[in-house]
Structure formats: structure tokens, C-alpha cells
A and B are shown apart, each in its own frame.
Chain A
Amino acid sequence: MANHAFSRPDMPGPQPVEATKVTALSTPRTAPLLHVSSGEVPDRIFKSLMTICGLAVLGVLVLIVYSLISGSRLSWHAFGFKFFAASDWDPVGEHFGALPFIYGTLVSSLVALIIAVPLAVGVAVFTTEMCPKVLRAPLSFFVELLAAIPSVIYGLWAIFVLVPLMSGYVEPFLGKTLGWTGLFTGAPYGIGMLAAGIILAVMIIPIISSIAREVLMVVPQHQREAVLALGATRWEMIRVGVLRNARAGIVGGIILGLGRALGETMAVTMVIGNRPDIAKSLFAPGYTMASVLANEFSEATGDTYLSALVEIGLALFVVTIIVNALAQLLVWTVTRGQPAKGNA
């Protein structure tokens, strides 16, 4: 108000125009709260439309939970907790136990993590701490390009390139050198737990490495300078000044990668062998929760069979939700210090 009064004498020209405006506006000014009334109804409609869209997101989650729980009720009543401890999968005799699938999912994901974590962290360290600035953007672009390849193409490549490589060279070599551990015994078919783990590793590397890179970049520059000033070499600086500070966030990224590995379907289904056995050797074929759904769901006959499959889906859903929530929490604790653009 004061500003207006002040600026008006400076410009004598527009003064009459503004004066007429003020008189024109003087009617609504008597009831200032009704000033927006002209736009109020469309505004309300707009807001409720957008709220409906927001509610739809909640609704989808509720729908997922509801349809999984109601779909698996039959199997739950028939087998109870024993469903997750029994290892016989007999659709003809209607005996269902999910243990081989749970085992296969866990082992293939674990193999994937063992391979992917060092590689992904190494790439993240190289791109943030070591490589020339020119290379930084193209390198991260190429690594993230791995995430854009559809799962089914990974599977195709694994069948025709990775599996022959495994059965011809990698598995005979591993069997000869590490056969005594019992993990690498049996016929080197190529197809099996190890091949599934390797292709999963390639698929989760971009996730782990991009989060690790983000977390490493949040580590304050003065941490690095301080360690260097103490006379550390570059590797000592990375180990003490960078990796130690970013530990929680990197673990978060690893868990996020684990969440992706647990639910990955197509590539794994194409190379794991799809046999519901529990074998110690990584050369042996296995089966995962996601791949049993992919293979048997559309052909399942009988309500108990379908219900057992839905229950496997429910278990997979619950596990991935827990794993993802944990990962989110860990990543947040590290990057929270950043200027948050999410909650302005």
C-alpha cells in the first residue's frame, strides 16, 4: 500500500488510469473475502480432481494388497505356515510348498550381490574420485544405459552368449579349482543358479552404482582435503575420508539392488533352469518365486494351485516392500543433508 502511494507521484502519466481501476475494483473490496469467488468453483473441482489422482496411487496399493490376500486365502487355509517350510511342489497331488522357490530367490540374489557390489562400488569410486572430469558424464551415462535394456533382452543374450560361455569355459574352470567347496560341482550345463546370479548382477549394477555415486558426491569436499592434508595417498583418502562417510548410503543402494534382484523375472526364468530342487551346487538348476509365477500362472488349473501361486506372489510382495523401505531409509539418512528439493 505504502509503496503504491509512494510511486504514484513519480509517474504522473498513468495516474488517472490507476485511479479508474481503483474505483472499478472498489465494489468487491467491501467484501475482500469474496474476492476470489469467481474462480472458486472451478478451483474446487480442480483440486478434487487432482486429489482423486493422488488417491488413485493409494488405491492401487490397497488393491494390490487386497487382491493378493484374497487370492491366497485358499492356499493359506490349506497349508498355513507350512507352505513356506515344505519343499514339495506337486500340482497334480495338490501339495504345495514354497521353500525351493524362496531358496532359489535368495541364493540367486545373493550370488548377484556378491558379484555386483564390488564392481558397482568400484565404478562409483572411479567416476567420482579418480577419472578425468571429461569422462565422468559419459561413463555414468553408459553405466545407466545398462538399466534401460529390457529384462527379456538380457535373458536372450544370456541364453545365447552367457550360457555357452559358462558351460564351455567358466564352469569347468571353477569346478577344477574350487570344486572342493561343494559349491561348484556337477555337470557344467551352463544353465543354473550361477548363470542366473551373473545376469542378475549385470542388471543391478547400474542401480547400486548410481546410488553409490550420488552418496559419494554428497560427502563434503573438506573431508577429502583434510585427509589429504594429513599426508594420505589417494586410496587412503578414498577409504578413510569418502567410503567410511558414505557407508550407510552405499548399503542403502545395495539393499535397493537386492530388492530389484528379488523381483526380477524374465532374465532369471530364461537361464535358471526352472527345477524346484534345493541343491548346494551353484551349477545345479533352480527356481525362483518370480519365475514360477511366470511359468505356471497362466497354465495353472485348479483353485488351490492358483491360490498357492498367488500366495508366492504375496510373499514376494511383502519381502520386496520391506527391503525397499529399509533401503529408502538408509539412503535418506545420508542424503538428507543436501538441499532437499522434494519437500520445499
Chain B
Amino acid sequence: MASPRREMPDPMSVPTPQVVVPPISLRRRVTDHVMTGVAVLTVVLVLAPLVAIFGYLVYKGLGSLNWAFLTQTPKPVGEPGGGMANAIVGSMLILGIASLIGVPFGIGAGIYLAEFGRNRFGAAIRFTADVLNGVPSIVIGIVAWALLVRGRGFSALAGGVALAIMMVPTICRTTEEMLLLVPQALREAAYGLGVPRWRTTLSITLRTATSGVITGVMLAFARVAGETAPLLFTALGNTFWNLRYDQPTAALPLQIYVYANSAYDDWHRQAWAGSFVLILLIVSSVAAVRYAVRRGSFGAA
């Protein structure tokens, strides 16, 4: 037990009271130990699926990965062999479109909130961004479908827009938070030198917060990279190569979904390999940018 030390005018003059601490009953002690055990058990139960999923991904995925998987397009239904090369490239195309649209708007909205948004309008945007964050991804798919697919046909652009909509709220809120962490004195110093406000924001405030902002961008990227639901009826999927923005496009998560639900062992094998590649893509892109940012910010500082 923590020693109870009270502030007394003169500790020596006051006689130490004889405190008799009654022993903690057996029931209470047992309950304490049992609850500690229960807490440890919950941790084990939560970490078990994590270990199991990563274990299977590495075991099945790495085992199924081969050169054909990375270089070939899918074979016709039921025929073994082939790969997901077109889906890997398609995913990059869709994610590229999503980042091109989502990142500038997200950062811009974040700058607005941090630098100009301390009013009711800013509060409304802040609330809207939080609301958008909770909208199910499949609903965003419907919206992208209504805007870009109906009457025009499935396309990589529609998939990219759907993912961009999902990226904006995350990027916007982290950018705002990171910009607000930049000390006000830095801004004032720039204003004091006669630097106009836009220049201050871009090359002082935003630059100082670069690593945080990029981390936010990567979080958003990692989140949408594995998204399948909004692509189901926007990008649709494709068994052939496609590099055009206005054509149905294959994507890694879509292909995994189709293959996992199929009845062919070879496709199941490829679904595992695809999942392994997808996880690798997500983890490595995040890690690479984090590493680059850390190096960069050390160089600047």
C-alpha cells in the first residue's frame, strides 16, 4: 500500500497513531487474482486471431506466391495457373486517382480548418468530416455509382472517386490537428518579416507539420487500399489489362473477394497470395513513407 504521508506542522511532536489495518478477506483477495487472470485471458483471446490471421497469410500466401502470379493475368474460369498482375496494376491506378483527388482536397480542408476555421462554418465542416468518417463504405460506393457509373458504365475513375471521398475526412482532420500543433510564434515570426499569409501557411506552418500531415495521408491511404465494398459497383473488376481511367478495372481486393468465393482450389490459393501481396503493399507503403519522412525532417532540422 502507498504510505500515507500527510503534511503536518511538526511530525515529531505528534505520536504515530496505532493504525490497525484489518486483513483483506480471502474472498476479496481471490476476486482480485481472478480478475487479473480474466484480463490476461482477454488479451490472449484478442491477440489469438491476430496471430492466426498473420500466420495464415504468411504460411498460405507466401507458399502460393510465384512468378506467374505477379506477371500474368487471370486464366479462364476453372483453368489453373495465371495471376493477378492486372489487378495489382489496377489497384495502383485506382489508388493513384483516389490520392490525386483526395489528398489536395483533404489537406486544403485541413488548412482551412486550422487557419481560417475558428467559426461556426468551420465547426460545421469539422462535424461533417467526422460524420463522413462513419459512413459505411458501401454507401459511398452507391453515391459514386449514382454520380459516375449510371448511364456511363463502370470505370476506374468512379472507383477512385469513391476511395477519394473516404480519404478526405481522415486527411482533413489529421492535417488540422498537426497544423494546430505548430507554435503560433512561428507564424508570428513570419508575419513579422512581412511574409504574406498564404506563403506563411504553405512554407512555414505546413512545412513544419509535414511529417504529421504525411502520416495522416498514409493512414488514409492504408485504410482505402484494402477497401472492397466501394469498388464492387464502381470499378467492377476486369480479367484483362486496363490502364484507362474510363474502363472497368481490376483491383486486388476485388479479385481476392471473387476468388475466395469461387469453388476452385487454385483460385483459393491465389486469393491467399493476393491477400499477402495486399498486406505487404499496405504495410510497406506506410513504412517507406514514414522512414522517408523521418529522414527528411532530420535533414531539415
> Which residues of A come within 8 Å of B, CB atoms?
36, 38-40, 42-43, 45-47, 49-58, 60-61, 63-64, 67-68, 70-71, 118-123, 125-127, 130, 139, 142-143, 145-146, 148-157, 159-161, 202, 205, 209, 225, 228-229, 231, 233-236, 238, 256, 259-260, 262-266, 270, 290, 293-294, 297-298, 309-310, 313, 316-317, 320-321, 323-325, 328, 341-344
In the complex the two chains form, is A148's CB within 8 Å of B135's CB? Answer: no
In the complex the two chains form, is B196's CB within 8 Å of A130's CB? Answer: no
Q: How large is the interface on B (under 10, 10 to 19, 20 to 34, 35 or more residues)?
A: 35 or more
**Mask for B94-135, Cβ within 8 A of A = 1, else 0?**
000000000011111101110111100110111011111111
Taking the closest CB of chain B, its distance from the CB of A288, in whole angstroms, is 10
14 contacts between A and B (CB under 8 A): A39-B196, A47-B197, A56-B105, A57-B128, A57-B168, A60-B132, A67-B142, A67-B147, A122-B38, A126-B43, A228-B1, A229-B2, A233-B32, A320-B136
Give the residue name and chain of the A residue nearest to B184 (CB): A344
In the complex the two chains form, is B46's CB within 8 Å of A119's CB? Answer: yes
Q: Give chain A residues whose Cβ lies under 8 Å from the Cβ of B49.
A: 146, 202
In the complex the two chains form, is B36's CB within 8 Å of A146's CB? Answer: no
Select one of A39, A54, A297, A342 contacting B180, CB under 8 A.
Answer: A342
Take A42-B198, A155-B257, A233-B29 as given contacts and tell me if A150 and B112 are in contact as well, using a CB distance cutoff of 8 Å.
no
In the complex the two chains form, is A68's CB within 8 Å of B143's CB? Answer: yes
Take A122-B39, A294-B138 as given contacts and tell me if A57 and B50 are in contact as well, using a CB distance cutoff of 8 Å.
no
In the complex the two chains form, is B130's CB within 8 Å of A157's CB? Answer: no
Q: Give chain A residues whose Cβ lies under 8 Å from the Cβ of B260.
A: 152, 155-156, 159-160, 270
In the complex the two chains form, is A266's CB within 8 Å of B168's CB? Answer: no
- Alpha-carbon separation in the docked complex, A10 to B51 (Å): 69
In the complex the two chains form, is B109's CB within 8 Å of A57's CB? Answer: yes
B271 proximal to A (CB < 8 A):
yes
Select one of B42, B105, B201 contacting A118, CB under 8 A.
Answer: B42
If A130-B39, A146-B50, A233-B31 are given as contacts, then 20 extra A-B residue pairs at C-beta distance below 8 Å, sorted by A number, are A46-B201, A50-B116, A53-B104, A53-B106, A53-B108, A67-B142, A67-B146, A70-B146, A122-B38, A122-B42, A126-B40, A143-B50, A149-B226, A150-B282, A231-B22, A233-B29, A238-B35, A266-B253, A270-B261, A324-B134
Q: Give chain A residues whose Cβ lies under 8 Å from the Cβ of B116.
A: 47, 50-51
- Alpha-carbon separation in the docked complex, A292 to B293 (Å): 42
In the complex the two chains form, is A68's CB within 8 Å of B257's CB? Answer: no
In the complex the two chains form, is A233's CB within 8 Å of B28's CB? Answer: yes
Give the residue name and chain of the A residue nearest to B142 (CB): A313
- Alpha-carbon separation in the docked complex, A53 to B116 (Å): 12
Give the residue name and chain of the A residue nearest to B41 (CB): A122
- Alpha-carbon separation in the docked complex, A225 to B50 (Å): 35
Q: Give chain B residues whose Cβ lies under 8 Å from the Cβ of A45.
A: 198
Interface residues of B in 242-299 (CB under 8 A from A): 253, 256-257, 260-261, 268, 271-272, 275, 278-279, 282-283
Taking the closest CB of chain B, its distance from the CB of A255, in whole angstroms, is 11
Q: Give chain A residues whose Cβ lies under 8 Å from the Cβ of B118.
A: 343
Taking the closest CB of chain B, its distance from the CB of A159, in whole angstroms, is 6
What is the number of contacts between chain A and chain B, taking CB atoms within 8 Å?
A: 273
- Alpha-carbon separation in the docked complex, A328 to B133 (Å): 12
Take A320-B135, A324-B134 as given contacts and tell me if A50 and B145 are in contact as well, using a CB distance cutoff of 8 Å.
no
In the complex the two chains form, is A264's CB within 8 Å of B136's CB? Answer: yes
Q: Give chain A residues whose Cβ lies under 8 Å from the Cβ of B225.
A: 150
- Alpha-carbon separation in the docked complex, A53 to B35 (Å): 50
Residue among B104, B112, B129, B140 with max Cβ neighbours from chain A (10 Å) = B112
Take A64-B140, A156-B256, A236-B28 as given contacts and tell me if A263 and B135 are in contact as well, using a CB distance cutoff of 8 Å.
yes
- Alpha-carbon separation in the docked complex, A67 to B1 (Å): 62
Take A153-B278, A161-B56, A342-B180 as given contacts and tell me if A225 and B46 are in contact as well, using a CB distance cutoff of 8 Å.
no
B172 proximal to A (CB < 8 A):
yes
**Mask for B1-36, Cβ within 8 A of A = 1, else 0?**
110100000000000000001101000110110011
- Alpha-carbon separation in the docked complex, A279 to B52 (Å): 31
In the complex the two chains form, is B47's CB within 8 Å of A143's CB? Answer: yes
Taking the closest CB of chain A, its distance from the CB of B262, in whole angstroms, is 11
Take A236-B28, A270-B261 as given contacts and tell me if A123 and B43 are in contact as well, using a CB distance cutoff of 8 Å.
yes
In the complex the two chains form, is A126's CB within 8 Å of B42's CB? Answer: yes
In the complex the two chains form, is B42's CB within 8 Å of A64's CB? Answer: no
In the complex the two chains form, is B279's CB within 8 Å of A54's CB? Answer: no
- Alpha-carbon separation in the docked complex, A234 to B176 (Å): 40
Q: Give chain A residues whose Cβ lies under 8 Å from the Cβ of B275.
A: 150, 152-153, 156
Select one of B46, B108, B180, B197 contacting A341, CB under 8 A.
Answer: B180
In the complex the two chains form, is A231's CB within 8 Å of B1's CB? Answer: yes
Q: Give chain A residues whose Cβ lies under 8 Å from the Cβ of B228.
A: 150-152, 265-266
Taking the closest CB of chain B, its distance from the CB of A245, in whole angstroms, is 18
Taking the closest CB of chain B, its distance from the CB of A231, in whole angstroms, is 7
In the complex the two chains form, is B139's CB within 8 Å of A46's CB? Answer: no
Residue among A40, A156, A256, A320 with max Cβ neighbours from chain B (10 Å) = A156
Select one of A39, A54, A123, A130 contacting B113, CB under 8 A.
Answer: A54
Q: Give chain A residues whose Cβ lies under 8 Å from the Cβ of B56.
A: 157, 160-161
In the complex the two chains form, is A320's CB within 8 Å of B134's CB? Answer: yes
Give the residue name and chain of the A residue nearest to B51 (CB): A142
Give the residue name and chain of the A residue nearest to B257 (CB): A152
B137 proximal to A (CB < 8 A):
yes
- Alpha-carbon separation in the docked complex, A342 to B39 (Å): 33
In the complex the two chains form, is B181's CB within 8 Å of A39's CB? Answer: no
Give the residue name and chain of the A residue nearest to B226 (CB): A150
B189 proximal to A (CB < 8 A):
no
- Alpha-carbon separation in the docked complex, A235 to B24 (Å): 13
